[in-house]
């Protein structure tokens, strides 16, 4: 791999070999010389990256089943609010996100029953889904896929869909509604969901593995694993030559990048602590982590790596399917999450729902911290992203689809002004938010999405 740095290094530069393509993180060497000089000055506190054009990203993280809304929103609007119990883990990042209050998912209220199916099926499509228990489904294109169709061609993957539960894809899961609605937040068109991947090993192989899945058919599991591990070893050898021409800041950034990939590999390859000796001929399966926290963090790290290396700029991540039967034994709650949300005012059950909500928000705080740790020039990966953390049910016990719990993190490459709690007029369409984010991703010519009535004001200050 011969790369001369007389000209700026391309943002699309990759290390190729063994059928793999490892993209590079953002480096100062990718900036024009004059901007690179300003970057060095900025590191000394003297300037900013004037003239640089940051890449914007759009990520959606979907919470299943709704939340205990009384413990979600702060009482005060503006910047000087006091954190609610549930959102308290986000306090260290207060200046990095907006709390959006008052947004509604009106298409989910247009028919009785089926509120879980409608919550997820309508969340990003913002249309009324067809009530059916057969495969004669109808939803609409989701906001993430509108963006992917417009700008996804600039990256290897137009979009990336991740999740923590597969869920059923046939039959009925909610009264009158097919399971496919309750299990998919991203839709390529009105009849085709963009199916998520739950297994972190498969996601890792997609991001860093061979170019085609048929190159090495017939290999044993051990051969496949050896091949996968060799990809980064090969990349390191080639990167040594490149690193010799990089400045210290870029070398440090490259080391951090490769270390983060190796850490994910280690977590994928580490057997469970309680794994005993296996009988002859039995292989350890590709493993999904046992706890919500471990599974979330591994998938989150993969999602962050994907946007860091510009493999994609659009991604959805569902933290569970609607009507999820997940339990949270790791925090002492053995009851199913969905069942607890139907608490009928029982104080003990309400308390457990609040604990689960708090635990999920703790993981989102980890997500933000991880994104803030990745530098891109004098900004961070979070600065150059828009991260939506929310749900289509609203109040978990009522499934009213009003006052949706929405947090919008990041600065959108300078297009968002975070650090505030904004209260909108009641029943403001959440589709107005999606339309506003589309604008910031460079989507042109879209004046309406679902039931939108215009752009959402206040996001820029």
Residue 242 CA neighbour count, 13 Å, CB half: 23
pLDDT at 284: 37
Q: Output phi, psi for 314, to 5 deg.
A: -135, 130
pLDDT at 446: 96
Question: What tens digit of pLDDT does each residue of 18-56 get?
Answer: 445 566 666 766 666 544 444 443 333 333 333 457 899
pLDDT at 11: 56
Exposure letters 213-245 (e unless 16+ CB within 10 A, then b) = eeeeeeeeeeeebebbeebbeebeeebeebeee
Residue 7, in any domain of the structure = no
How many structural domains does the chain have? Answer: 1
Question: What tens digit of pLDDT does each residue of 372-430 get?
Answer: 999 998 899 999 999 999 999 989 898 899 999 999 999 999 999 999 999 999 999 99
Residue 405, in any domain of the structure = no
For 264, the enclosing helix (H) or strand (E) is: helix 248-269
pLDDT at 212: 38
pLDDT at 170: 72
10 Å Cβ neighbour count for 382?
26
Residue 144, in any domain of the structure = yes
Residue 452, in any domain of the structure = no
Q: What is the pTM of this model?
A: 0.81
pLDDT at 167: 80
Residue 409, in any domain of the structure = no
pLDDT at 314: 98
pLDDT at 69: 94
- Residues in the chain predicted with pLDDT less than 50, given as ranges, are 1-6, 17-19, 34-51, 211-221, 223-224, 227, 274-276, 278-279, 282-285
Residue 128 CA neighbour count, 13 Å, CB half: 8
pLDDT at 275: 45
Bridge partners of 423? 101
Residue 76, in any domain of the structure = no
Residue 23, in any domain of the structure = yes
Residue 329, in any domain of the structure = yes
pLDDT at 111: 86
pLDDT at 3: 40
Domain hosting residue 168, numbered range: 14-36+52-64+107-214+222-271+286-399
Distance CA 121, CA 180 (A): 8
């Amino acid at each position: 791999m011969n790369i001369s740095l007389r000209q700026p290094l391309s943002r699309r530069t990759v290390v190729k070999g063994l059928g793999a393509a490892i993209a590079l993180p953002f480096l100062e060497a990718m900036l024009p010389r004059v901007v690179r000089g300003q970057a060095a000055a900025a590191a000394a506190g003297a300037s900013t990256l004037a003239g640089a054009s940051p890449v914007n990203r759009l990520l959606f993280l979907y919470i299943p089943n709704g939340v205990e809304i009384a413990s979600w929103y702060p009482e005060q609007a503006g910047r000087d609010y006091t954190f609610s119990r549930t959102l308290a883990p986000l306090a260290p990042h207060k200046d990095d996100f907006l709390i959006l209050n008052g947004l509604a998912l009106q298409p989910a209220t247009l028919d009785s029953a089926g509120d879980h199916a409608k919550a997820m099926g309508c969340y990003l499509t913002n249309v009324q889904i067809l009530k059916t228990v057969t495969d004669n489904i109808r939803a609409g294109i989701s906001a993430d896929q509108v963006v992917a169709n417009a700008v996804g061609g600039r990256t290897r993957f137009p979009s990336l869909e991740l999740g923590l539960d597969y869920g059923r894809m046939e039959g009925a899961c909610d009264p009158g509604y097919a399971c496919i609605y309750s299990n998919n937040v991203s839709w390529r068109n009105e009849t085709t969901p963009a199916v998520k991947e739950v297994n972190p090993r498969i996601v890792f192989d997609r991001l860093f593995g061979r170019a085609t899945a048929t190159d090495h058919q017939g290999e044993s599991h051990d051969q496949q694993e050896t091949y996968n591990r060799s990809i980064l070893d090969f990349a390191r050898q080639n990167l040594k030559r490149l690193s010799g021409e990089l400045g210290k800041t870029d070398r440090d950034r490259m080391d951090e990048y490769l270390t983060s990939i190796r850490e994910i590999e280690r977590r994928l390859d580490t057997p469970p602590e309680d794994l005993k000796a296996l009988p002859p001929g039995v292989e350890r399966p590709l493993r999904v982590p046992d706890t919500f926290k471990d599974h979330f963090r591994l998938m989150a790290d993969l999602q962050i790596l994907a946007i860091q290396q510009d493999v994609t700029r659009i991604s959805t991540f569902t933290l569970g399917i609607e009507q999820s039967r997940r339990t949270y034994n790791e925090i002492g709650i053995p009851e199913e999450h969905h069942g607890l949300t139907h608490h009928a005012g029982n104080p003990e059950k309400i308390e457990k729902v609040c604990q689960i909500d708090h635990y999920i928000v703790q993981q989102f705080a980890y997500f933000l911290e991880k994104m803030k740790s990745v530098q891109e020039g004098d900004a961070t990966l979070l600065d150059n992203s828009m991260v939506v953390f929310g749900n289509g049910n609203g109040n978990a016990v009522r499934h009213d689809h009003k006052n949706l719990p929405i947090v919008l993190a990041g600065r959108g490459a300078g297009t968002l002004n975070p650090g505030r709690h904004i209260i909108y007029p009641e029943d403001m369409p959440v589709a107005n938010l999606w339309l506003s984010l589309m604008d910031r991703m460079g989507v042109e010519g879209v004046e309406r999405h679902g039931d939108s009535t215009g752009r959402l004001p206040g996001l820029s200050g």
